[in-house]
Amino acid sequence: MESKPIVLITGVTGFLGAWVTKKALDTGKFKVRGSMRDCNNERRIKLLKDAFGEDFDKIELVSADLSDKDSISKAIKGCTYVFHVASPYPTKSPKDDMELIGPAVAGNENVLEACDKHNVKRVIVTSSCSTIDDFSQGKAEFNEEYFCEPKSYTTPYIKSKIAAEKRAWELIDEINNKPERKNNKLEMTMVLPSVITGPLLINEYSSSAKIFGDVLEGKSAGFPPYYARAIDVRDCADANIKALETAPFKRYALIQKHFWIGESAKWIKDEFSQYGYKPTTKVLSMCLLWVGSMFDKDAKYFYNASKVEMSINTDMTKRELKIDYIDIKQSIIDMCYSFIKHGVVEAR
C-alpha cells in the first residue's frame, strides 16, 4: 500500500491552525505533522489533547520557531505539502512596526527556503485580505489580483502581512528561476482570509476571537462604523485543503459576507440576552476615533477606514474552491456559544 504523504501545519495550536489540522485529519489522505514553538509545553499539549481526543495520537508534533531556520527545516523535512498558517496577531499594535514585520517576513522566507531544500510539492501560505483592502480609493470594488501598498494609517499587523506576502512572491520566483527548478517548480498558493469567526477548537482565546468575546461580555468599548469582511474558520480551513488541488500561484480571497461590523452586536444581543448577557452594542463616533487616532495606531486605521464601503469581488475564489460557505451571522453565534462551552466566557 502506498504510504500517505506527510503534511505540515505551522501553528497547530492556533485558532485557524487547529482547524486546518482537523480538516487534514478528516480527509484521511495525509500523515499530519503539526509545529508549535515548544512540544514540551504541557499546558498547550493538554489543549490539543482536549481538542482532538482520540485523534491526538494521529498528529506528529514537532518544535519549530519560525525565526529559526534549522528548526523549520527539520519540521519540513520529509513533507510533501506544507500549510504555513502561523503568524503573529497582536491584541494591540506595538510601538515598533518591525516587531511584527520582521518575524512575518522571516517566517515566510524560512518556510519557503526549507520547502525548496526538501523538495516539497506545494506550500499553502496564509496571508490576509488586508493585502487587498484599499480604503484610500473610497467606495470601490477590488478582486484577488489587487495588491495594496501601506498607507500612513496602515497598522503594523497589516504592514507585516503586506511585506510578508510580497516577499513570498519574490522568493518563489527566485526559487523557481533556478536552473534545477526548470521542470520541478515549487508550487505556492496564497489564501487570504478576512476577519475569521466561528467556534473555537482549542480551549483558548485567539486575538481575533477575543474581540467578540469582549462584545458578548459587555467589555468592549464599542464598534467603529467599519464595513467589514468575514469568513468562518471552518470554511477557511476547507479552503486550505482545497487549495492543494487547484492550479498553483494564485491568491484566494476568503469572504462570506461584507457587512457593517456593528450588525454583529445585534446578532449577539438577539441570541444571548435571553441568558442574561448584556453584549456591547455601542457604535463609536467618528469624533472619538479622530481623537484616538492622534495617540493610537489602531484607532488611526479605523478612523481612516470607517464609513468606506469598500468591497472585494471573490468570484474566482468561489468558482475554483467551491466552498459551501457558513453564514457569518451563524458563524459569530457559533463562536460565542463555543466561548461559553470552553469556559473562556463565564456561563450565566
In a domain, 303, yes or no: no
| Structure confidence at residue 1 as a pLDDT band (50, 70, 90) | very low
Tell me, what's the pLDDT at 95? 81
Mean pLDDT for 132-159 is 94
The domain that contains 245 carries what CATH number? 3.40.50.720
pLDDT of residue 305: 95
In a domain, 152, yes or no: yes
Q: How far is CA 143 from CA 16, 68, 133, in A?
A: 23, 34, 10
Judge whether residue 54 has pLDDT over 50.
Answer: yes
List, for residues 84-103, the tens digit of each pLDDT value: 998 766 667 778 889 899 99
**Beta strands at 141-143 and 311-313: parallel, antiparallel or unpaired:** parallel
Is residue 151 a part of any domain in this protein? yes
User: Which run of H or of E encompasses 60?
Assistant: strand 59-63
Q: Has this prediction a pTM greater than 0.85?
A: yes
SS3 track for 253-276: EECCEEEECCHHHHHHHHHHHHHC
Distance CA 96, CA 100 (A): 8
Angle between helices 15-27 and 42-52 (to 10 degrees): 50
Q: Is residue 270 part of a domain?
A: no
116-129 mean pLDDT:
98
- At residue 94, the pLDDT reads 76
Lowest model confidence (mean pLDDT) among 72-86, 157-171, 203-217, 244-258: 203-217
Q: Is residue 58 part of a domain?
A: yes
pLDDT of 292 above 60 = yes
Q: Tell me which of 93-107, 137-151, 231-245 is least confident.
A: 93-107
pLDDT given for residue 109 in this prediction: 97
Would you call 33 helix, strand, or coil by DSSP? strand
In a domain, 264, yes or no: no
Q: What is the per-residue pLDDT across 15-28, written as a single tens digit (0 to 9) for each?
A: 999 999 999 999 99
- Asked whether 272 and 332 are in contact (CB, 8 A), the reply is no
Question: Is 346 among the domain residues?
Answer: no
Range of the domain at 97: 6-205+229-257+311-325
Mean pLDDT of 293-307: 93
* DSSP states of 219-250: ----B-S-EEEEEEHHHHHHHHHHTTTS-SS-
The total number of structural domains in the chain stands at: 1
Of the pLDDT bands very low, low, confident and very high (cuts 50, 70, 90), residue 207 is: confident
Grid coordinates of 19: 482547524
10 Å Cβ neighbour count for 186? 19
Looking at the domain assignment, is residue 185 inside a domain?
yes
